[in-house]
A and B are shown apart, each in its own frame.
Chain A
Amino acid sequence: SAVISQKPSRDICQRGTSLTIQCQVDSQVTMMFWYRQQPGQSLTLIATANQGSEATYESGFVIDKFPISRPNLTFSTLTVSNMSPEDSSIYLCSVVPDTGNTIYFGEGSWLTVV
């Protein structure tokens, strides 16, 4: 199993600022992902956070807007840069333990941009 801690859990941010979300896992995992859930919408994969190399971004998401760090196998950060109200979303971290096939999600970081 894997226990995921995301910080912050909620935040209200000013337009034009940036916010970094942290994802801490209680065990080493190779696969770690970041998702976005806009209000009333489903979840969309932003990127795969790769340890020791640049993240792999999905279509529609770019590194300048969503820089990701993955310094080790238990931690990652997602930064939402130059925020606008359209970035108001829940951002979720997800991991797959190296043994097993269950996908775990953090509780999410609920961001509101004003």
Chain B
Amino acid sequence: AQSVTQLGSHVSVSEGALVLLRCNYSSSVPPYLFWYVQYPNQGLQLLLKYTSAATLVKGINGFEAEFKKSETSFHLTKPSAHMSDAAEYFCAVSDVGHGALVFGKGTRLSVIA
């Protein structure tokens, strides 16, 4: 069975500081990995995805994530936080070719001016 663990339910950073949101996964088969963002009272938006190509994945809004098989991790980073990045972030895993997602519990990112 697949699972996703997001370390830290709430992360707070200063504007301009590095953003690091942690995600570890468990999967018995090669996974597809995703990061989604959800702004208050809005739906899900895909930030980026890993589908067995390049291990460093670049997404929208300056975010990127690196797939590390040895660490079973897929941490999300952004060099410089912006106030508009404040949102809930979800890491998710899917079996290759299946399409159903298992989500982590989410990390709420706060950006302090």
Contacts and interface: CB of A to CB of B under 8 A. Distances in A.
Contacts of B103: 42-44
How extensive is the interface on chain B, given as a class? 20 to 34
Given A42-B105, A43-B90, A101-B51, A92 B99 contact: no
Interface stretch (B21-29, B42-50, B54-62, B76-84): B42-50
Contacts of A45: 100-102
B94 interface: yes
Main secondary structure of the interface of A (DSSP, over half): strand
A96 B32 CA distance: 13
A94 B105 contact: no
Interface string B67-101: 00000000000000000000000101010011111
B101 A92 contact: no
Given A92-B43, A106-B43, A108-B43, A101 B100 contact: no
Given A43-B44, A44-B103, A103-B101, 14 more contacts: A31-B100, A33-B99, A41-B105, A41-B106, A42-B90, A43-B90, A43-B101, A45-B100, A92-B43, A94-B101, A101-B49, A101-B51, A102-B49, A105-B43
